Amino acid sequence: MALSSFYVVLLLVMISSSDYIASLVYATTPDGFFPNGNFEQGPKPSNMQKTVIIGKNSLPMWEINGLVEFISGGPQPGGFYFNVPRDVHAIRLGNEASISQELKLNKDSFYSITFSTTRTCAQEEVIRVAASGESVDLPIQTLYNSDGGDTYAWGFKATSTNVKITFKNPGVEEDPTCGPLLDAIAIKEIKLPHYSQGNIVKNGDFEIGPYVFEKYSTGVLLSPHPHHFVSPIPGWIIESLKPVKYIDSKHYDVPKGSSAVELVGGRESAIAQIIYTKVNQFYLLTFKVGDAKNGCHGSMVVEAFAAKETVKVHFNSEAKGGFTTASLKFQAISTRTRLTFWSAFYHTRLDDFSYMCGPVLDDVKVISV
């Protein structure tokens, strides 16, 4: 009888242990928020010391390390004011603090993480994102939306079915609580693009891109990742000091289809693609330039480069949308030709000089002629 009781207890321990292990890995849809990715499920009051979360597993669905705060938008102690543009709550990462979550993904598939973040103290704040052995430090000192609602995306390849994704503040400030805010995190599986209809540019219409928050009209900033080969907009390279912005037709004016790219950082904001060409063959590059109907105004100029040729495309924005179509004929001098686009000027919104914006690029095509 005692032996039977022992096996019953052992079986119960094994079941509860397996349930515990399974609870550490949360299944996710291919496109959508992380479980509790908007942080609206907060810690129990007993696991809080003012705003600081106490306990490694006290934040539902997340593992925390270091000084992590659970923030409600509005006035804060010490005279601070934290704007949380997405819902009510956010997470603040103190000195070298991090939050992590493990997701079930498809091994060898490509993913893009979309997340909202903003600095709270120092000008030089950075957010580190890591997954599948890859990581990137994204500078967030420049605010592109005056309400603090900047949204970024980062891409990676899943090297296993269970992938731990970590957000960390690698900085150390005099105030240990200083660090970036996180208030919305989502993931999307990225399908690799293919050539279509004779166009040798991949994803030239930007229809394949990162997850876009349906309720929030901020667009998604894509920072340069010179040492990383997974782009949130496959086929394209962000090769500048400042990011470009991925925008959707629900919230912006887009020349064609459902998505486009806004060049928000002037000459510091460039996007490129390397295409395969035949030496001495002539090609025709066509593309569309417009404005996003987001209050951006002024005389816009997009410069495009291909082989030894260049063109400047002018578009006078009245912040009402619209676009113009441009073309450039060039002769290939190599089996690989780099197409590069950048904005010649800096732009801001009519009603908000702190809101950085710029011309929209869309519908990029190259055909042989």
CB 151 within 8 A of CB 218: yes
Please give the single-letter amino acid code of residue 246.
Y
So where are the chain's domains?
A: 24-190, 220-368
**Section 234-251 average pLDDT:** 91
CATH superfamily of 220-368: Galactose-binding domain-like (2.60.120.260)
pLDDT digits (tens, 9 = 90+) for 276-308: 999 999 999 999 999 999 888 889 999 999 999
Whether 146 shows a pLDDT value over 90: the answer reads no
Q: Is residue 54 helix, strand or coil?
A: coil
pLDDT digits (tens, 9 = 90+) for 248-259: 999 999 999 999
CB 317 within 8 A of CB 291: yes
pLDDT digits (tens, 9 = 90+) for 334-360: 999 999 999 998 888 877 777 889 999
Pairwise pLDDT comparison (217 vs 169), residue with the higher score:
169
**Section 123-150 average pLDDT:** 85
pLDDT digits (tens, 9 = 90+) for 49-92: 998 999 999 999 999 999 999 988 655 566 565 666 677 788 99
* pLDDT the model gives residue 121: 82
* pLDDT the model gives residue 218: 82
Minimum mean pLDDT range among 20-34, 135-149, 250-264, 344-358 = 20-34
Q: How far is CA 207 from CA 4, 201, 202, 311, 347, in A?
A: 61, 13, 10, 25, 25
* pLDDT the model gives residue 6: 38
**Section 134-154 average pLDDT:** 83
Whether 272 shows a pLDDT value over 60: the answer reads yes
- The residue to which tokens 């869309």 are assigned: 362
Q: Rounded to an integer, what distance in angstroms lies between the CA atom of residue 343 and that of residue 290? A: 12
Q: Rounded to an integer, what distance in angstroms lies between the CA atom of residue 305 and that of residue 310? A: 4
* Residue 160 token pair: 């296993």
Minimum mean pLDDT range among 130-139, 345-354, 356-365 = 345-354
Q: Rounded to an integer, what distance in angstroms lies between the CA atom of residue 161 and that of residue 139? A: 29
Confidence of residue 205 (pLDDT cuts 50, 70, 90): very high
Whether 32 shows a pLDDT value over 50: the answer reads yes
Q: Is residue 286 helix, strand or coil?
A: strand
Domains 24-190 and 220-368 share a fold: yes
**Section 258-277 average pLDDT:** 93
Q: Rounded to an integer, what distance in angstroms lies between the CA atom of residue 255 and that of residue 359? A: 11
Please give the single-letter amino acid code of residue 269.
S
Q: Rounded to an integer, what distance in angstroms lies between the CA atom of residue 185 and that of residue 178? A: 20
* pLDDT the model gives residue 4: 42
CB 206 within 8 A of CB 288: no
Whether 12 shows a pLDDT value over 50: the answer reads no
Minimum mean pLDDT range among 72-81, 107-116, 148-157, 200-209 = 72-81
* pLDDT the model gives residue 119: 84
* pLDDT the model gives residue 242: 86
* pLDDT the model gives residue 25: 44
The CATH number given to 24-190 is 2.60.120.200
Confidence of residue 362 (pLDDT cuts 50, 70, 90): very high
What is the percent of the chain with per-residue pLDDT over 70, rounded to a whole number? 85
* pLDDT the model gives residue 197: 81
* pLDDT the model gives residue 175: 83
Residue among 24, 15, 8 nearest 61 (CA): 24
Q: How far is CA 158 from CA 109, 197, 198, 228, in A?
A: 6, 31, 31, 14
Whether 26 shows a pLDDT value over 80: the answer reads no
Whether 201 shows a pLDDT value over 80: the answer reads yes
Q: Rounded to an integer, what distance in angstroms lies between the CA atom of residue 244 and that of residue 169? A: 23
